[in-house]
Amino acid sequence: MNFEGKLAAFQGIKTPFFYYDMELLQATIDEVKACIKDTNFHVHYAMKANVNEPLLKQIKKNGFGADCVSGNEIKRALSVGFLPEDIVFAGVGKSDEEIAYALDQDIFAFNCESLQEIEVINEFAKERKQIAKVALRLNPNVDPETHQYITTGLSENKFGISLDDLDAIFDQFPKWKHIRIEGIHFHIGSQVTKLEKYIELCERVNDLVLHFDDKGIKLTYINLGGGLGIDYENPEKNPIAPFKEYFGNVKKHLKVSPEMSIHFELGRSIVGQCGSLITKVLYTKDGASTNFLIVDGGMTELIRPALYQAHHKIISFAETNLEKKYDVVGPICETSDFFGKGITMNYSNRGDLIAILSAGAYAQVMASNYNLRDRAESVYSDQLT
């Protein structure tokens, strides 16, 4: 996120707004492309991280597919040009309408999360005289050691098919005439920074592929999901996620037939760092123990701190050599409506602009108009003069 030469333009824009550094997005995409060049790796961008059209178009243009978790995300993906054969559909609770829609579009894969879901898809495909292409989302019981609310691959989580239920699937498989199991899918959680967790996942997958072989199910691909974490502490120093190590681990530790393709679903690591929430100081309020910076953006724009105690780096554009320690809080009538506490930053006053960094993923997509607030605008670096 490079703000150089942009501050003058920022002055004229209604705050709060989301600012997207499209050059950083491209640099991030280029790094991924360099890592997967000459491999059988395919990246599907996890749309739930950010669905703004300029970002989607840039991602599509670079050859990535889309990972969707709702019928409307599939619609959005198709509308910006993603092809059905590059779209995967995940989600623990797909509705009948969503399943019917996805079948009608003939997408690349349903990532199925329960036995009952497979039965429903089989029925719907039968009515349409279609064969639904399916990947089984298996719960590998790998602890990603991230925040408990974004952990998904433990047996206590609602996601995926428990390995204990696999035998039931193998038993019933022959009677599902309208399902073709082509792949297996995993997603252990989000904001995973311990990359050795993916080694553990690869080892689990190696065993499972052998197990499917034994049962006579020929898989054509593995989908390892997403979850690669980004540096929320030092985003300026590490604007690009450690893709080399991440993909390198998979190259080294996933031991499956070279004929199989390997799919990834990356969300946060693609778009997280290119977005910032720009907000203005409304008031300062110094208390006995705490100095508050009350800004015009709040949890309605960025709910991550309130939702899962997420940390975001905050900087002030105030021009001064003085520093002060602040609690940066929003205007919403909730005590959890804050961006950071005890943050040392430039001494700031009413009217100064503040940037909440690393707000490209799971920020604007989760915005609400609680308190009947207006929606924040989106501003793109390549459209700013």
* Residue of the chain from 1, 36, 46, 77 that contacts ligand PLP (CB under 6 A): 46
Compute the least distance from the CB of residue 250 to ligand PLP, in Å.
14
**122: helix, coil or strand?**
helix
Q: Answer whether 254's CB lies under 8 Å from 203's CB.
A: no
Of 76-84, 246-254, 261-269, 305-313, the window that binds ligand PLP (rule: CB under 6 A) is: 261-269
Cβ neighbors of 28 (< 8 A, separation 6 or more) are 239, 240, 241, 269, 270, 271, 273, 274
266 binds ligand PLP (CB under 6 A): yes
67 binds ligand PLP (CB under 6 A): yes
Compute the least distance from the CB of residue 229 to ligand PLP, in Å.
8
Q: Which of residues 276-315 bind ligand PLP (CB under 6 A)?
A: none
Helices (H), the chain: 7-10, 22-36, 53-61, 71-79, 96-105, 115-127, 166-172, 196-214, 243-253, 268-271, 304-308
Compute the least distance from the CB of residue 52 to ligand PLP, in Å.
15
Tell me whether residue 187 or residue 280 sits nearer to ligand PLP (CB atom).
Answer: 187
- Tell me the β-bridge partners of 20: 275, 380
Q: Distance between CA atoms of 298 and 85, rounded to whole angstroms? A: 39
Tell me whether residue 136 or residue 228 sits nearer to ligand PLP (CB atom).
Answer: 228
42 binds ligand PLP (CB under 6 A): no
190 binds ligand PLP (CB under 6 A): yes
Compute the least distance from the CB of residue 159 to ligand PLP, in Å.
8
Tell me whether residue 71 or residue 330 sits nearer to ligand PLP (CB atom).
Answer: 71
Of 8-16, 122-130, 224-232, 371-379, the window that binds ligand PLP (rule: CB under 6 A) is: 224-232
227 binds ligand PLP (CB under 6 A): yes
200 binds ligand PLP (CB under 6 A): no
CA neighbor of 230 nearest in space, from 360, 341, 143: 360
160 binds ligand PLP (CB under 6 A): no
Q: Which of residues 122-141 bind ligand PLP (CB under 6 A)?
A: none
30: Cα within 13 Å, side-chain hemisphere = 6
Tokens of 70: 């709702």
Q: Distance between CA atoms of 41 and 346, rounded to whole angstroms? A: 44
Q: Distance between CA atoms of 143 and 105, rounded to whole angstroms? A: 35
Tell me whether residue 95 or residue 320 sits nearer to ligand PLP (CB atom).
Answer: 95
Tokens of 173: 């498989």
To the nearest 10°, report the CA torsion of 197, 198, 200, 201.
Answer: 120
* Residue of the chain from 36, 49, 281, 314 that contacts ligand PLP (CB under 6 A): 49
Phi, psi of 331 (to 5 degrees): -90, 0
268 binds ligand PLP (CB under 6 A): yes
DSSP string, 330-374: -SSS-TT-EEEEEEEEE---TT-EEEE-S-SSSSGGG---GGGPP
Cβ neighbors of 262 (< 8 A, separation 6 or more) are 39, 40, 41, 42, 221, 222, 223, 224, 250, 254, 256
226 binds ligand PLP (CB under 6 A): yes
Q: Answer whether 310's CB lies under 8 Å from 336's CB.
A: no
242 binds ligand PLP (CB under 6 A): no
Tell me whether residue 124 or residue 246 sits nearer to ligand PLP (CB atom).
Answer: 246
Tell me whether residue 121 or residue 329 sits nearer to ligand PLP (CB atom).
Answer: 121
98 binds ligand PLP (CB under 6 A): no
* Residue of the chain from 153, 183, 242, 267 that contacts ligand PLP (CB under 6 A): 267
Where does this chain bind ligand PLP (CB under 6 A)?
A: 46, 48-49, 67, 69, 90, 187, 190, 225-228, 265-269, 361
